[in-house]
Amino acid sequence: MKYWIFITLLLASLCANAQVSDTLDKSLMSAELNFWHAKNDSCRFVAVLNKVRLYRHAGLYEQALTEADRIDAYTLTQKEDAALKYEKLTANFLSDNYKYCPAITFDSSELGAHAKEIKFMTLYSLNESENWVGCKTQMVKYVLAGDSARIKEIQKLPVGYKYKDPDKSKHLSAILPGLGETYAGYPLKGITSFVLNAGFLAFAGYNIYAGYYVTSIDLGIFPFLKFYKGGKRLSPILAEKHNEKESEKVKSQFRKEIDSILN
């Protein structure tokens, strides 16, 4: 019985999705026809903007941005207005294209009913793209005039972290096992790596001295090479992990301050 229920629910879901898709296709076709039948740039602009909104509401953000670019492609005399810039900002933000969001700027007169959303997306995009200097500058603009205490809190926020170069970490591990891991911020792993590699080398050397060449190769040299190569692979991963962790710490501080300003 449960299988029939599952199949029934699955078919109902597929039918619902098909209906939504069919409705979207019809709306998009209607907007496209309006674009080509439009007699002036103003009507064409409205048609394109309508398609951008349809794609955005459907969660198709890349398609929404592609439609927004048609404004320039067809050299419409009516260029970007606040509504189109808002759609571009939202589509970029929701598709995680944070680095493009700060380039979309608004005058104070253009903020309108979406003022809080625009501020939120702009500040969070600056933070997520690690443009912390720009984020601090923008936050100060949004703070109420005369709120010196809040401005001081913003100015205390860090604008970077101690970056660990993954390539440098890998090269250090190649020079001395464990050195790359230590540089990446994981000294315990570095010490462990050094001890293991040194132990295998020492074991290989002892067995060569004693005349046990096969044992030296199988239980000394081969394990050493395996751990040596493993350390070279691990050290840049640890460096990236360190950078992600430190970056998240800074982002967390900014998020708290951003939420405090917007609320």
Q: What pLDDT was estimated at residue 80?
A: 62
pLDDT winner (highest mean) among 51-60, 73-82, 234-243: 234-243
- What are the residues whose beta carbons fall under 8 Å from the beta carbon of 166, sequence distance 6 or more? 235, 236, 237, 239, 240
Structure tokens given for 47: 């048609």
Average pLDDT over residues 236-252: 96
The DSSP secondary-structure symbol of 177 reads: T
pLDDT winner (highest mean) among 10-14, 146-150, 191-195, 216-220: 191-195
Structure tokens given for 136: 């601090």
Structure tokens given for 104: 């979309």
Angle at CA of residue 207, ends 201 and 209, nearest 5°: 100
Phi, psi dihedrals of residue 107, rounded to the nearest 5°: -75, 160
The DSSP secondary-structure symbol of 218 reads: I
Structure tokens given for 213: 């060449």
**pLDDT level of residue 13 (50, 70, 90 thresholds):** very low
102-122 pLDDT, tens digit per residue, is: 888 888 778 788 888 999 999
Q: Rounded mean pLDDT of the chain?
A: 85
Angle at CA of residue 159, ends 165 and 249, nearest 5°: 70
Higher pLDDT, 11 or 171: 171
**pLDDT level of residue 3 (50, 70, 90 thresholds):** very low
Q: If you count them, how many residues does the chain have? A: 263
Cα 155 → chain centroid: 25
193-228 pLDDT, tens digit per residue, is: 999 999 988 988 888 888 888 888 888 889 889 989
**pLDDT level of residue 14 (50, 70, 90 thresholds):** very low
Q: What pLDDT was estimated at residue 67?
A: 86
**pLDDT level of residue 93 (50, 70, 90 thresholds):** very high
pTM of the prediction? 0.77
Q: What pLDDT was estimated at residue 78?
A: 60
Location of structure tokens 């010196």: 148
**pLDDT level of residue 48 (50, 70, 90 thresholds):** confident
Angle formed by the axes of helices 222-262 and 115-128, nearest 10°: 160
Average pLDDT over residues 43-71: 87
**Which of 15-29, 104-118, 120-134 has the least mean pLDDT?**
15-29
Q: Which long-range contacts (CB under 8 A, 24 or more apart) does 127-132 make?
A: 127/251, 127/254, 127/255, 127/258, 128/96, 128/98, 128/251, 129/98, 129/99, 129/101, 129/102, 130/247, 130/250, 130/251, 131/102, 132/157, 132/158, 132/159, 132/160, 132/250, 132/254
The DSSP code sequence of 29-85 is: HHHHHHHHH-SSHHHHHHHHHHHHHHHHHTT-HHHHHHHHTHHHHTT-SS---HHHH
Per-domain boundaries in the chain: 29-160, 166-257
Higher pLDDT, 250 or 217: 250
